[in-house]
């Protein structure tokens, strides 16, 4: 059974639409032009993945409405999701602390970012100490960073730091090799 337009859009909405909602929730300043440019990049991406233009949201309001329509019926817990989540969070903890001692912090951040429902589906443990701390500290960190942006040299320094982190992550994840992504052409048989 080939992957449908809806299947592609479900995955698509878990990236740009979800990210934009979080950016707005955290009150990250963004001009209308920046917001539209971000949407356009993702519109081109989903077009290149084969979604017909009439299904591609033209605005963020349309993207949010479509996301609200498609995602609830398509998202559910799976054994594969639990296993993949555990592997990814374990790898992150392995790379950010000796002996994975910060796995509780990684769990708390992941749970905060995806929300309780998805975190429960993916068996991400609740962290009684770190959960409330992350829930308070992360929005404050984002607000602090964004508050510094109008100062001289800060945007360039922030970009440099963000880019250095991105390059390190890319280098680590690919072990210095090019990233190969195989896009499936059929759904799981069951």
- pLDDT, tens digit, 9 for 90 and up, residues 29-50: 999 999 999 999 999 999 999 9
Summarize the confidence of residues 98-106 as an average pLDDT: 92
**Locate tokens 């990684």: which residue?**
106
**Locate tokens 């909602």: which residue?**
21
Summarize the confidence of residues 69-73 as an average pLDDT: 93
Residue 152 has pLDDT above 80, yes or no: yes
Residue 190 has pLDDT above 70, yes or no: no
* 95 domain-assigned: yes
Q: Output the DSSP codes for the chain.
A: -BPPHHHHHHHHIIIIIHHHHHHHHTT----HHHHHHHHHHHHHHHHHTT--GGGS-SSHHHHHHHHHHHHHHH----HHHHHHHHHHHHHHHHHHSGGGTTHHHHHHHHHHHH-HHHHHHTTPPP-TTHHHHHHHHHHHHHHHHHHHTTSTTHHHHHHHHHHHHHHHHHHHHHTTSPP--PPPSB----
Distances (CA, A) of 40 to 43, 147, 183: 5, 27, 22
- Furthest CA-CA distance within the chain: 56
Assigned token pair, 171:
């280098």
Q: Is residue 169 located within the same domain as residue 155?
A: yes
The number of distinct structural domains making up the chain is 3
Which of 74, 103, 135 is the endpoint of a domain?
74
Residue 136 has pLDDT above 70, yes or no: yes
Instruction: Name the residue range of residue 60's domain.
Output: 5-74
* 69 domain-assigned: yes
Which helix (H) or strand (E) covers residue 10, if one does? helix 5-12
Whole-number mean pLDDT of the chain? 91
* 188 domain-assigned: no
Least confident of 4-18, 24-38, 89-103, 132-146: 89-103
**pLDDT band for position 140 (cuts 50, 70, 90):** very high
Q: Is residue 144 located within the same domain as residue 158?
A: no
Q: Is residue 101 located within the same domain as residue 157?
A: no
Q: Output the DSSP codes for 23-62.
A: HHHTT----HHHHHHHHHHHHHHHHHTT--GGGS-SSHHH
The residue among 181 and 74 whose pLDDT is bigger is 74
In this structure, the chain runs to a length of 190
Summarize the confidence of residues 162-178 as an average pLDDT: 83
Least confident of 12-16, 36-40, 181-185: 181-185
* 190 domain-assigned: no
Q: Is residue 63 located within the same domain as residue 45?
A: yes
pLDDT of res. 1: 45
Residue 2 has pLDDT above 70, yes or no: no
């Amino acid at each position: 059974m080939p992957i449908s337009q809806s299947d592609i859009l479900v995955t698509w909405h878990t990236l740009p639409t979800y990210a934009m909602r979080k950016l707005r929730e955290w009150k990250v300043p963004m001009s209308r032009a920046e917001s539209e440019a971000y949407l356009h990049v993702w519109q081109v991406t989903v077009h290149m993945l084969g979604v017909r233009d009439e299904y591609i949201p033209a605005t963020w309001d349309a993207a949010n409405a479509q996301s609200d329509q498609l995602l609830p019926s398509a998202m559910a817990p799976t054994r594969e999701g639990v296993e993949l989540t555990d592997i990814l969070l374990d790898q992150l903890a392995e790379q950010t602390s000796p002996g994975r001692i910060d796995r509780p912090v990684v769990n708390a951040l992941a749970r905060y970012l995806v929300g309780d429902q998805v975190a429960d589906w993916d068996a991400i443990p609740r962290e009684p100490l770190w959960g409330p701390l992350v829930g308070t500290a992360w929005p404050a960190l984002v607000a602090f960073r964004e508050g510094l942006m109008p100062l001289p040299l800060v945007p360039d320094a922030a970009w440099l730091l963000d880019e250095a982190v991105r390059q390190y992550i890319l280098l680590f994840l690919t072990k210095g090799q090019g990233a190969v992504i195989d896009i499936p052409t059929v759904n799981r048989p069951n």
